[in-house]
Structure 1
Amino acid sequence: MSVRARPTHCGLDAAMEVISGKWKVLAIWALRDRSRRFGELRRQVPGVSEKVLVQQLRELEADGIVLRRTYDEVPPRVEYSLTADGRALDEALKPLGAWGRERRPVHG
C-alpha cells in the first residue's frame, strides 16, 4: 500500500507503511549494491513466492522506493533498482540491521 493511500500520524508510521510486508526490507537489502533482474532478486530473498515478491515490488515502486526498468529485447528483460529515496531508506535501515545482528541468538 502506498504511503499516500492513507494519512499517517508521524514519521515512523509513514516509514512502517512503506516497509510493511515480510519481504520488502529484504528486497531493499538485495538491491542495495546494484540493480537486479527478477530471478536474481528472488534468489537473494529465499523463501518468498514469485507472486508475493512481484506484489511487494509493485508496492515499493508505487512508494517511489524501487525503480522497475523494462528493456525492449527478446526475451524481455526487467531490472529493479533503488531510487534515491530507496537508497535513503536503506541507509535508515542500517542501524536497525546492526541492532538485530547484536541481539541475534547465536546457534552453534
Structure 2
Amino acid sequence: MKRRTYTCGLDAALDVMGGKWKALILWELIDGALRFGELRRRVAGISERVLILQLKELQACGLVHRELYHQVPPKVEYTLTELGESLITAMTPLGAWGERNMATIEALDRGL
C-alpha cells in the first residue's frame, strides 16, 4: 500500500478497508482461521482473482496474517492480526446498524 497522509481517522480506516470485498473478508475471519477455499465460499460473489488481490492488500495493511503450512498438499490459513481484530471491534456497530436498517436500505430506489 502506498504511504499517504490522512485528513482524519475515518480517511485512514476507509483506506485500509475500503471497497466492497475487504470488509466482508475481514468479517468472515471474526471466528478464527480460514483456508482460502473456505473464504471464497463464504464471501458470495467474489472471484478467485479478486480474493487473492484483496487478501494481499489486507496483509500489506497488517490486518490479516497468512500462515503457510509446509505439507502435502500445501495448507494456507488466514487470520486476523491484532490490528485486524481492533478494526472488527470498530466495524461491529456499523454491522449492527446495517442489520437494523437492511430492509429500508434494500427498499430505496437509489438509481444505481
**Secondary structure, counterpart of 2:76 in structure 1:** strand
Counterpart code for 2:74: P
Counterpart code for 1:48: I
Note the alpha carbon deviations across 1:30-50, whole angstroms, 9 max, x for none.
100110000001111010000
Q: Distance in 2 between matches of 1:77 and 1:17?
A: 30
Q: How does 1:26-65 map to 2 (within 5 A)?
A: 26-65=24-63
Which protein is bigger by CA-based radius of gyration?
A: 2
Please tell me whether residue 96 in structure 1 is matched to residue 94 in structure 2. yes
Runs of 4+ in 1 over 4 A off after TM superposition: none
Tell me the equivalent position of 1:67: 65
Counterpart code for 2:67: R
Tell me the equivalent position of 1:12: 10
List runs of 5+ in structure 1 lacking aligned partners: none
Counterpart code for 2:28: A
Counterpart code for 2:85: R
Note the alpha carbon deviations across 1:60-93, whole angstroms, 9 max, x for none.
1000000001111111111000000101100100
**Secondary structure, counterpart of 2:6 in structure 1:** coil
Q: Distance in 2 between matches of 1:104 and 1:77?
A: 37
Tell me the equivalent position of 1:82: 80
Counterpart code for 1:56: Q
Q: Distance in 1 between matches of 2:35 and 2:67?
A: 10
**Secondary structure, counterpart of 1:57 in structure 2:** helix
CA deviation after TM superposition for structure 1 residue 105, in Å? 0.8
CA contact (8 A) 1:66 1:81 kept: yes
